[in-house]
Amino acid sequence: MTSIGFLGLGTMGRGMIANLVTAGHDVTVWNRTPGRAEDLTGVRVATTIADAVQGREVVMICLSDDAAVRQVVLGADGVASAADPGTVVIDLSTISPDLSDEEAAAFATAGVPFLDAPVFGSKGEAASGGLWVVVGGPAETLERVRPVLDVVSETVHHMGPNGSGARMKLVGNLLVAAQLHALGESLALARSAGLDLSRVLEVLAVTDFRSPIFDGVGPMVLDGDYSTSFALRLMLKDARLIQEFAAQVGAPVPGVDLAEGTIAAAVDRGYGEENASALIKVIAERAGVDLST
């Protein structure tokens, strides 16, 4: 049993926490909005970041964005100043590589082992313990916490030194954005051409261009179901992180630029709290079609 402090009780954190508790770990949680801890079972609830962090063997962080991590990790009384040198801190949030590097530097100064470890997968994979984790940091630090990461994930990938996980996460999310945008375009084209969208999805599910994203999102689009696993507002954040990161390393990402524009338009229309797939509603609106069957 490992004593774990977990900060961030959002969609992803809640699923991971449930699996850590089920696996027998001693979990103490903290959240900015304390009420979100009320329906969690088997955890202790800390009222301050320091209470959640001090004396734990492992601290896991899963917050929405750079602003949240800057406040909770690097702010006064944040994790970087509260954590003991005996604790391994793991940041699972999707944030900018620059901020991830700042975190790594702050923890190095404090003598606290640190991993950036963003996750692929969504609400379902968090709930089932089937995430895919991309880790940056020293191999020996990863080995210390591998049993804990194994509880929440299907696979763990050591990408290299600190910051490599944060960078890999943006490389992967480029493909998530591209696939959702392409799915929207292909469904709108198929509908405009008079094809039966159920038959279209049947083909997408078996061909050499099939994708679990198409399998998951396609039927939901036909049902008009945009219930949230991965909020569109977070996908806009990620698209902009990819653009910034790509500009820094000098790699043009015209597909991401296009997707960012569509996502921003969807957020402007008020779809930000809906699932990331709600960007498809804008593509359909522009094509003048209704994709629901």
Ligand X SMILES: NC(=O)c1ccc[n+]([C@@H]2O[C@H](COP(=O)([O-])OP(=O)(O)OC[C@H]3O[C@@H](n4cnc5c(N)ncnc54)[C@H](OP(=O)(O)O)[C@@H]3O)[C@@H](O)[C@H]2O)c1
The contact set with ligand X (CB under 6 A) reads 8-13, 31-33, 36, 62-64, 67-68, 71-72, 93-94, 119, 122-123, 229-231, 234
CB of 32 or CB of 144, closer to ligand X: 32
Active site residues: 169
Pairing of strands 119-120, 131-136: antiparallel
279/273 Cα distance (integer angstroms) = 12
Q: How far apart are CA 243 and CA 170, in angstroms?
A: 9
CB of 129 to ligand X, least distance (A): 14
Tokens, residue 60: 């896991």
How do beta strands 119-120 and 3-7 pair? unpaired
Query: Could you tell me the smallest distance in angstroms from the CB atom of residue 102 to ligand X?
Result: 16
Nearer to ligand X, 190 or 231 (CB): 231
CB closer to ligand X out of 170 and 291: 170
Q: How far is the CB of 111 from ligand X (least distance, A)?
A: 25
Q: Nearer Cβ to ligand X, position 46 or 62?
A: 62
In angstroms, give the least distance from the CB of 250 to ligand X. Answer: 25
Residues 254, 146: Cα–Cα separation, whole Å: 37
Task: Please answer whether residues 246 and 212 qualify as being in contact, where contact means their C-beta atoms are separated by less than 8 angstroms.
Answer: no
Instruction: Using CB atoms within 10 Å of the CB of residue 193, give its burial: 0 to 12 exposed, 13 to 18 middle, 19+ buried.
Output: exposed
Q: Of all helices (H) and strands (E), which one includes residue 91?
A: strand 88-91
Neighbour count for residue 113 (Cβ, 10 Å): 21
Residue number, 123 or 144, with CB nearest to ligand X: 123
SS3 labels along 195-222: CCHHHHHHHHCCCCCCCHHHHHHHHHHH
Distance CA 125, CA 56 (A): 26
In this complex, which beta carbon is closest to ligand X, that of residue 153 or of residue 229? 229
Shortest-Cβ-distance residue relative to ligand X: 10
CB of 65 to ligand X, least distance (A): 6
Backbone angles phi, psi at 290, to 5 degrees: -110, 120
Give the residue among 63, 84, 73, 90 at the shortest CA–CA distance from 147. Answer: 90
CB of 13 to ligand X, least distance (A): 6
- Determine the Cα–Cα distance for residues 119 and 53; give it in Å rounded to an integer: 21
